[in-house]
Structures are given as structure tokens and as C-alpha cells.
Amino acid sequence: MMNGQGRVSPGSAAPAEERGCSWLNIWVFLILALAIKAAIGTFCLWLVVPFCHSSDQPSALQQQEFSKQFSEWECGSAVPQGTDRGWTCCPKGWRRFQGSCYFLSTDMMSWDDSAQNCTGMGSQLVVITRKAEQVFLSELIRQSKEPKRDNSYIGLFAEKEGQWQWVDKTPYNVTAAFWPKGEPSEGYDENCVIIYRDTELPNNWNSVRCLNYHRICEAAAVTV
């Protein structure tokens, strides 16, 4: 109600124009808030390392023995549909393929030192039992722009000549091996195995004396 001086009396309703502006402001605020939330969600999904966490590592990674060795990770959404987890992760600088992470060294060591080096990173010298994995690793070596990366140790060795075994006790199966014709050599004290860069794929394993070569380490990828 207006008093004699044209002012609104206490307890009187505000004009309709003011009430309309108030509700309009509320709706604008809500729409902006929803838009910001959607933009943040889209940004998180777009990231190569899709971790929107306050810490450097998600807690699920921190709990993995292998992951305790590393502070930086690269992840991708490559788990089967229907699982509860959405990202498969490898340490930065490692390569991911079919559920495994691979590290290709640029320095050279003996086979024993190579095995210890991989173990120290929570991994092992690579165990290859599938053609797809063999071709993938061979192509990585060939396509590498790193000039120091060449023939690399795998986790196959013989304590006695001709008695081949894998570092993780996987049974050695000659039908799932990738020897070229004439390999493995006999009678030359060649009890260790490398992927030989320049032999035709996929049969490019070479038995060698256990001197200094590069190495390939392998560990299961971490799913979070």
C-alpha cells in the first residue's frame, strides 16, 4: 500500500516487476552452475590422464605394489564393457598393449643385471607367448627414434644348454616360440635370448652369450 508520500508501506508486496527480476536471477544462476559442471566433466573425460583428484596419484594406484615405484601415469579407457573400473594405466614412458605395460631401455646390461633391474621396478623381463605381443614389441624396437635402442633381452634363458625356461616359470612351448631358421644356436654358450632388430618378423629371437644388451621389462597394467 502506498502512503501519502508515494512510498511502499512496511508489509506491502513488492511490485511485480521486482519479483520477476528476482526469479530471473535465480534461474540464470542455476543455468550457469549446470553449464560449469558439465564443462568440468567434459574436460576430465578429454584428458589423456583422466584423473581429477587433489593428489598426484589416485588412491587405487597408490595401493598397487607395481605403482609404488612411479609418480606419473598415463591412462586410457581400454577395459572391457561391464567392468566396474574405467581406466587402464601404465607408468609414464612405458607402452601399454593388451593389459600389459612395457619398458624398453636405452642403456645396456648383462642378462642377470637386466633381470634385477626389471625386478627393482616391480616388473620382470618380458615373457612372450603370443604372436601379437611379439610383433608389437618388435615393431616398437624398429620404429623407435631413440638411436641407442637396439636388440633387447627377453625373459627366456637356459641354465643348461637347450633347456629353455621363462623367468616367471611359464612353461616353455617350442610351438609358441619365435626362432628363425638356425636358432637357437648350439655349442656356443649362448644361453640368453634377445629380440634381434633386423631379422624378419615375427621369428626374430636370437640366442646370445649373456653379455650387455638392451632389455624389455613387463608388468601388468593397473586398472582403476
pLDDT tens string 14-44: 454 555 556 556 666 666 666 665 555 444 4
Count of beta carbons in the 10 Å neighbourhood of residue 100: 19
CB 156 within 8 A of CB 126: no
Rounded to whole angstroms, the Cα distance separating 146 from 106 reads 8
What are the angstrom distances between the C-alpha of 190 and each of 108, 157, 163, 208, 217? 17, 9, 12, 4, 21
Check residue 27 and give its pLDDT: 62
- Check pLDDT > 50 for residue 10: no
Looking at per-residue pLDDT, the higher value among 84 and 12 belongs to 84
Query: According to the model, what pLDDT value does residue 162 have?
Result: 86
Q: pTM higher than 0.75 for the full model?
A: no
Identify the pLDDT of residue 50: 41
Report which of residues 145 and 58 the model is more confident about. 145
In the block, residue with C-alpha cell 544462476: 29
| CATH 3.40.630.10 given to domain 97-223 | no
Name residues whose C-beta falls within 8 Å of residue 100's C-beta, 6 or more positions apart in sequence: 133, 218, 219, 220, 221
Supply the pLDDT for residue 213: 96
DSSP calls for the chain: -B-TTSPBPTTPPPPHHHHHHHHHHHHHHHHHHHHHHHHHHHHHHHSSS----SSSS-HHHHT-TGGGG-S-EEEE--SPTT-S---EEEETT-EEETTEEEEE-SS-B-HHHHHHHHHHTT-EE-----HHHHHHHHHHHHH---TT--SEEEEEEESSTT-EEETT-PPP-GGG--PPTT-S--SS---EEEE-TTSPSS--EEEE-S-SBEEEEEEEPEE-
The total number of residues shown for the chain amounts to 224
Contact 216, 97 (CB under 8 A): no
Residue 66 burial (CB count, 10 A)? 17
- Tell me what the mean pLDDT of segment 2-17 comes to: 46
Confidence class for position 187, pLDDT limits 50, 70, 90: confident
Give per-residue pLDDT as tens, 67-104. 567 878 888 875 455 555 578 889 999 999 988 999 99
Question: What pLDDT is recorded for position 8?
Answer: 41
Phi, then psi, of 78 in degrees rounded to 5: -130, 30
Residue 12 pLDDT exceeds 90: no
163-184: pLDDT as tens digits: 999 999 999 999 999 999 999 9
Are 181 and 205 in contact by the 8 Å Cβ rule? The answer is no
Q: Indicate if the pLDDT at residue 112 is higher than 90.
A: yes
pLDDT tens per residue across span 193-215:
999 988 889 999 999 999 999 99
Q: What's the pLDDT score for residue 100?
A: 94
Highest mean pLDDT among 33-37, 60-64, 123-127: 123-127
Per residue in 141-155, pLDDT (tens digit) is: 888 766 567 899 999
Residue 71, pLDDT score: 77
Alpha-carbon distance of 157 to 170, in angstroms, equals 12
